[in-house]
Amino acid sequence: MPLCICRGGVKCSFKIHATKLKRQQTWQIKTMKLEHKCVRSRENKKFRTNPSWKVKQIKDRVLHDLGVEVTYYRAWMARCRAKLIIFGSAREQYARVWDYGKAVMKYNPGSGCNVVIDGIEKPEPPLFMRMFICLRPLKDGFLKGCRPIIGVDGCHLKGGYPGQILVAVSKDGNNSIYPISWATCEVENRETWVWFLESLMQCIGSADGAGFTFMSDRQKGLVEALSEVVPNAETRFCVRHIWANFKLKFTGSVFKELFWSATRATTFVEFQIAMQQIRELDEDAYNYLENIPTHHWCRHAFSDSCRSNMLLNNMCETFNSVIRDARDKPILTQMEWMRRYMMRRNNEKWEDSKEITTNITPYVHKLFQRMSYVARNCIIEAARDDTYEVQLNDDQASHVFMHLHA
């Protein structure tokens, strides 16, 4: 029974009541009132339920439903108008960033929000520059239950307003990504990275980054910003990006195998063997890698304070792909999308944690199972206190001293 959805506060009596006849494909109209007293509504909820439609999909849907073929530009404009209705005006949202920041800190006490604008002293309206968000639950979860490793990365916005999203992501006890904070800024350079890192350190309560490990892809100005803001933190470079630059000059499967062997080496001897083989192939290739300090990209030189042997910055790249749907939205809609995603994700992790019956996470349990098969061939001799000598497969060169952490 179709009814009219009244608009403008006017009650409309439009109604059609019909029933299907038995054993027939015919409908009989019982009641029909066709007089309208309200304004016609052109609202279409199809796009609202799936605002990620492509322009071609909109053209195909119009052709299928109405039998009209529209041009690409007309379909693109229709999609822009629909997004404006659903997500709101970007101009209006940029004018309310301060109100949003105050609401975040008021209704989520302990959260961090940093907004930067330009031209506040001029008579014309100020210009939005940057906005940093670090929610209190994410900060507490990182400090209490995550490894002290932080991956930082940036990605481009896709909307009509250009800019960058800077993110900080860590690893939780189950080796899953754990977003900490994010920010929208005008460009990715040394100044914006210094501002982002300073805001992050202020939220997590660290002045110089001591005890933390930062991993990056060596973006523009990021290396300089890390050395300035967190001089006492350990820094690592994503090995995939080092290899991407290395293979432009030194190609071949042999170089690739030796490069990754040197990177994954857990002892200095294994690292030296791989590097010497690279030196025999090409002296320039050896010098290229020697110019990069080993503690940035080699496992044998990593400190044990981080409790992670990660070589790639996959956690940031994974998070950037997750927030792809938020990168084309206005600033406040974008921030609300991120907040809701974090809330939904944390709730899912909380429900999953209720099913854990042991003191270790599922990932660590599987890791210990794989290690147990190798440990059967190890011979351990106590040195003193919690220091031991481990011998594997009677290989005298593999004698190492291990410091076991509780």
Domain total in the chain: 5
Residue 66 and residue 128 in one domain: no
Residue 327 lies in a domain: no
Same domain membership, residue 204 and residue 156: yes
Distance between CA atoms of 204 and 150, rounded to whole angstroms? 12
Show the low-confidence residues of the chain (pLDDT under 50): 396-406
- Residue 319: inside a domain: no
DSSP three-state, residue 286: helix
Residues 222 and 110 reside in one and the same domain: yes
Question: Burial, 64: exposed, middle or buried (Cβ in 10 Å; 0-12, 13-18, 19+)?
Answer: exposed
Strand, coil or helix: what is 37?
coil
Identify the pLDDT of residue 358: 84
Q: Which residues pair with 399 in a beta bridge?
A: none
Residue 115 burial by Cβ neighbours in a 10 Å radius (0-12, 13-18, 19+): middle
3-state secondary structure labels for all residues of 84-111 = HHHHCCHHHHHCCHHHHHHHHHHHCCCC
Same domain, 195 and 127: yes
CB 324 within 8 A of CB 157: no
Q: In this predicted structure, what is the pLDDT of residue 92?
A: 81
Domain range enclosing 247: 239-311
Give the whole-angstrom CA distance, residue 260 versus residue 278: 11
Contacts of 194 (CB under 8 A, 6+ apart): 221, 225, 228, 229
- pTM here? 0.76
- 31 strand-pairing partners: 17
